[in-house]
Amino acid sequence: MRIVAICAAASIAALVAGCGKQEPQTTGTPPLVRQMTEVQYRAVIADLFGPDVKIAGNFYPTPREDGLMAVGASHATITPSAFERYDKLARLIAAQVVDASNRDMLVPCKPAAVKSADDACATVFFSKVGRLLYRRPLNQDEVARQVKLATEVTKTTGSFYDGLAAGLSGMLVAPDFLLIGDLVETDPNDAARKRLTGYSIASRLSFFLWNASPDDALLTAAEKGELYSERGLAKQVDRMLRSSRVEAGVRALFADMFGFDGLARLQKDPLIYPAFGLSAADDSGEQTLRTIVDQLVVNEGDYRDLFTTRKTFLSQPLGLVYRVPVETTSGWEPYEFPVGDQHVGIQSHLSLLALYSHPGRSSATLRGKAVRELLLCQKVPDPPANVDFTLVSDSSNPVHKTARARLSAHSTDPSCSGCHKLMDPIGLSLENFDGAGQYRATENGEKLDTSGELDGVPFKNPQELGTAIHQNAALNSCLVNRVYAFAGGHTPQPGDRPLLDYIEKKFVADGYRLKPLLRTIATSEGFYAVGGTATGTAEASVKP
């Protein structure tokens, strides 16, 4: 365990100051192997080879587990067909890297002759690229293996660069690249303990805060053993949090938390929702993520204010949906909904409203469930298999004209009413927004009643719902849980509870701000603790 200073008092002030002594111990987490997600893959390739290198292809979706793909990635498998896709992508990327138009920039040396092998140049290339791809230095055997492959290919094709491309494409499908593994080693201060290697700490940090591979500075810090010290770790965390790249990490966190991968597959009936085109679907997630980044990263504001803010960003397609003016002809501009407008908070954004609705109608139940599960981390049981949804889905019912009326009739079934009480009061307040997020005061000509209550806090309309969410204590613990799970790639275990409680208290003391929360977790000793049992635990074998 790292040595920490002794704090004079266990006060909130000390917590805020980040006194390590306040941090409770955890049982640690078994080492994990996570599959790199599509977003991470694209970010890594863009980092290494530049944004002009095209990554043309589809990825197999990462499964979602306990609300996060970041957790599902720990249990993902690469099927033969998924591997074929990776292989195809790798060949395309490698060909672009060594292409005549790019090689001067991306290959750090020139061969003596382009038609024959050059082991020295190949060694330089694979050593440099390999360190960034594998997130650790390659050992001599690994480099030699790539050089040998390149040489053999060069002999066959008569092109040095074909050889490099063959070696590079092989590295791009290697487990060392595609799988982000927690490598462990014996703690030199305690032979009975295991700890993450410096490079694994670097990877965990980088994918957590930037959603990308470690950069050279972080790898160098790992190489020097600086990440084992509290000061060295904090130095790197602070550097990373100061970087604009933290925006990518925050985007990835909330896109995962809110299930925005679903926006790419979202379909709405164009006859019912004519303003909801593909552009609006694409832009809806971006609107919410921009709002989040502005509030939490740029302004370092209170997380809870995300649910009461009128400030957001709009594009032309979104202006059509919200029916507000958008001045910019392309791109984005800040916008503030007027006082009195019911578009308050990100829960009133098109992204969440449309995602948690049906293709041709809104859904108070899905929206209520989303608030419970995504924002408050309260699991709502799945409906029984034999439920009859006929009445609920009949949005043109002449008798039950509003969703409230239909759900009221539906919920008379005792097997349904229990769960609907959890979801419907929340979702019905969002009925002021149709299935594609457009405001409406009535449904089928009948005025909407959007009142309800959330855990005992009553509200009259969507605006007041935002305030109720803002005040809900579960909002804070949920975010802490989600960020912690996202960062480590695993669902918090009972043994993590004391640490999570500590982090939450600190989050509250820090003014509900995200960046301090990220820092608390990233500098937390418990976050890196290795414990428990796991299959496939990897002892570090790399000795650079």
Partner 1 sequence: MHILRAVTTAGAAICALAAFLPGIANAGPAPKRTVGLVVTSWFTAQYNTPHWEECPEGAAIGNDELWLRSLPQDARIKKTDGGKVQPVDGARKQQAVVRGPNGEDVCMNPTVVNDPPLRIIKGKFGYGFNLDGTNDGAPTSKSCKHDKFEDPDTGLKVDNQTYRTLGCILGWRNGNYMEGHPNGERQDSGRGTILIEVTDVDDLENDPDVTVAFYGALDPMPKDSTGKILPFASYHVSGTPQYGAKAKGRIENGQLTTTPVDARLPLYGNNYTGDMFLKDMRLRVAMPKEGEGAPVKALLGGYYDFNKWWDYIQKIEFLLVAGQWNCPQIYQAAKQLADGYPDPKTGECTALSTALTMEALPAFIVHPKNERTVAEAPEPEKKTQLAQGQ
261-274 burial, b at 16+ Cβ within 10 Å, e below that, comes to bebeebebeeeebe
Q: Given the complex with partner 1, which of 146 and 438 has the nearer CB atom?
A: 438
Max CA distance (Å), the chain? 83
As measured in angstroms, the least distance from the Cβ of 450 to partner 1 is 11
As measured in angstroms, the least distance from the Cβ of 470 to partner 1 is 18
Q: Given the complex with partner 1, which of 194 and 268 has the nearer CB atom?
A: 268
Q: Given the complex with partner 1, which of 281 and 416 has the nearer CB atom?
A: 281
Nearest Cα to 469, choosing from 339, 360, 542, 374?
Answer: 374
Contact 54, 96 (CB under 8 A): yes
As measured in angstroms, the least distance from the Cβ of 434 to partner 1 is 11
Residues lying near partner 1 in the complex (CB under 8 A) are found at 270-271, 274-275, 277, 316-317, 319-320, 323-329, 333-336, 338-343, 432, 438-441, 461, 463
Q: What number of CA atoms fall less than 13 Å from residue 527's CA on the CB side?
A: 30
DSSP 86-99: HHHHHHHHHHHHTS
344: three-class secondary structure by DSSP: coil
What tokens appear for 444 in the block? 């089928």
Q: Given the complex with partner 1, which of 271 and 385 has the nearer CB atom?
A: 271
Q: Given the complex with partner 1, which of 204 and 268 has the nearer CB atom?
A: 268
As measured in angstroms, the least distance from the Cβ of 63 to partner 1 is 32
Q: How far apart are alpha carbons 119 and 125 in whole angstroms?
A: 10
What tokens appear for 235 in the block? 């130095």
Neighbour count for residue 414 (Cβ, 10 Å): 7
Phi first, then psi: what are they for 311, rounded to 5°?
-85, 140
Q: Given the complex with partner 1, which of 276 and 507 has the nearer CB atom?
A: 276
Neighbour count for residue 440 (Cβ, 10 Å): 11
As measured in angstroms, the least distance from the Cβ of 306 to partner 1 is 19
Q: Which class for 457: exposed (0-12), middle (13-18), buried (19 or more C-beta within 10 A)?
A: middle
What stretch of H or E contains 364? helix 364-370
What tokens appear for 283 in the block? 């832009």
As measured in angstroms, the least distance from the Cβ of 430 to partner 1 is 12
As measured in angstroms, the least distance from the Cβ of 331 to partner 1 is 12
Contact 168, 98 (CB under 8 A): yes
Q: Given the complex with partner 1, which of 265 and 543 has the nearer CB atom?
A: 265
Q: Which class for 325: exposed (0-12), middle (13-18), buried (19 or more C-beta within 10 A)?
A: exposed
Q: Given the complex with partner 1, which of 274 and 384 has the nearer CB atom?
A: 274
Q: Given the complex with partner 1, which of 340 and 494 has the nearer CB atom?
A: 340
As measured in angstroms, the least distance from the Cβ of 433 to partner 1 is 8
As measured in angstroms, the least distance from the Cβ of 334 to partner 1 is 5
